Amino acid sequence: MTAGTLRHVADLATPALLVDLDAFEANLADMAAALPGPRLRPHVKAHKTTALAARQAALGHRGFTCATVREVEGMVAAGLGEDLLLANEVLDASRLGPLVEAGARITVAVDSEQTLAAAVAGGVREVLVDVNVGLPRCGIAPERAGWLAERARASGVEVRGVMGYEGHLMMVPDPADRARRTEECMALLLAAHADVGGDVVSGGGTGTYAMNTWVTEVQAGSYALMDTAYTAAGLPFRQALTVLGTVVSATAPAGDAPGWAVADVGLKALGMDHGNPAVPGASVWFCSDEHLTFGGGSPPSVGDRVHVLPAHVDPTIALHERMHLVRGDEVLDTWEVDLRGW
C-alpha cells in the first residue's frame, strides 16, 4: 500500500498498531520449521488480516482456520481459499455455498444435527465433526461423534475427520502439566476419530503447538504476533505487536504523591479480557475509553511516544482498521485488518 512512500513511525497518527517486521518474520519462520506446510493450519482470527495470511501461505501453510463466515469470505476474496476450515458452528451457512460453487474449498465444523442441517442447507459439501475434549464450549461428546458423522454422510456431505480444541490448556503454566493434560484431551479426540474416520485430526493452538503431536494439523494463530499472556506462558515466539501511543498529558510528582502520564491508547484500542496491557519500564494504573494512565520509571513528557503491549492479541486487533509493519523507525508497509466484523 505504501510502495514508494517510505514513512516514519513518528509520522503515524496514534493509536496505531505496529508490527515489528523482524520479530514477526522470525515467529513465522520458527513455526514453519516446527510445523512445516500442512502441519500448521494458521488461525486467522488472531490477526484478521489477509495480507498477513498471505505471508503464512508463502511459507507453505496453505490451509487456514477461520472463526467467522466473514473471515471465510475475506480469505476467498483474497485468493486464499484453497482449503479453509470454519472451525466454528453456524446456524446460517447461506453465504458459504456460493463460495464453494465458485471453487473455494470450505469445510465447516458441526457438533449437532442443527448445525449439520445448516451446513447442508447452505451448500457446504465438507464438514469436520467438532468434538468436546474438555473445554466447556462447542463440540459433541466424543462417544457421539461417530453418530453425527453417520448423519452427515447420510446427508450427502463429505466428513473429512474431527477437530477438538484444548483451549482450556493454552495457559497452563507448567509445560509438563500442559503436555500431560493435552495427551488426555487428544486421547478423547483420537477415540472419536476412530469412530468418525477421515484424514483430518485438527486441534491445538499456540500454547500447545510443540506438544500436541496427536493431531494432523495445528490451528495456532497467536504465535505470529504474540501478546503478554502468551509470553508469560513461556512460549518461544517474540512480541511482534505493540500499540503505539502518544503521551497527551503528564503530571509531575508532588510531595509524596507520585507522578503519572496518560497515553492515547485506551479501551477502544485494547482487548481487555486478559487484563491491563503492559508499558515496558512503567506501571500501568488503569485504562479508560481513550486513555492509558501509567506511572513509575522515568517520567515521560507530553508528546513522547510509547509502545503498549496488549494482554490479548485477538480482540486488540479487532479494534483497529490497519496495522503498520515497521523496522526500527521506518514504516515499510501498511496492511488493512480486512476480516473484522461478521
Do the bridges between strand 305-308 and strand 292-295 make them parallel or antiparallel, or are there none, so unpaired? unpaired
Smallest distance, a copy of itself to C-beta of residue 271, A = 6
Within a 10 A sphere around the Cβ of 16, how many other Cβ atoms?
A: 23
Nearest to 272 by CA among 316, 216, 241, 208: 316
Residues that bind a copy of itself (CB under 8 A): 13-15, 45, 67-68, 88-92, 111-112, 114-115, 132, 136-139, 141, 167, 246, 248-251, 254, 260, 262, 264, 267-269, 271-273, 285, 287-291, 293, 301-303, 312, 314-315, 318-321, 341-342
If you ran DSSP here, which 8-state letter would residue 11 be given? G
90 versus 196: smaller Cβ distance to a copy of itself: 90
87 versus 218: smaller Cβ distance to a copy of itself: 87
Smallest distance, a copy of itself to C-beta of residue 249, A = 4
User: What is the C-alpha separation between 227 and 275, in angstroms, rounded?
Assistant: 12
326 versus 337: smaller Cβ distance to a copy of itself: 337
Backbone angles phi, psi at 66, to 5 degrees: -125, 155
175 versus 295: smaller Cβ distance to a copy of itself: 295
For every residue of 244-285, DSSP letters joined together read EEEEEEEE--BTTBPPEEEES--GGGS--TT---B-TTSEEE
Smallest distance, a copy of itself to C-beta of residue 341, A = 5
Helix (H, G, I), strand (E, B) or coil at 132: coil
38 versus 315: smaller Cβ distance to a copy of itself: 315
Smallest distance, a copy of itself to C-beta of residue 114, A = 4
Smallest distance, a copy of itself to C-beta of residue 165, A = 10
216 versus 293: smaller Cβ distance to a copy of itself: 293
If phi over 0 gives left and psi between -120 and 50 gives alpha, with beta otherwise, what is residue 153? alpha
H-type alpha helices, the chain: 21-34, 50-58, 69-77, 97-101, 113-121, 145-154, 175-196, 228-232, 313-317
Smallest distance, a copy of itself to C-beta of residue 203, A = 15
The answer to whether residues 232 and 214 touch, using CB atoms and an 8 Å cutoff, is no
The answer to whether residues 48 and 67 touch, using CB atoms and an 8 Å cutoff, is no
Smallest distance, a copy of itself to C-beta of residue 340, A = 8
Smallest distance, a copy of itself to C-beta of residue 205, A = 11
15 versus 81: smaller Cβ distance to a copy of itself: 15
58 versus 268: smaller Cβ distance to a copy of itself: 268
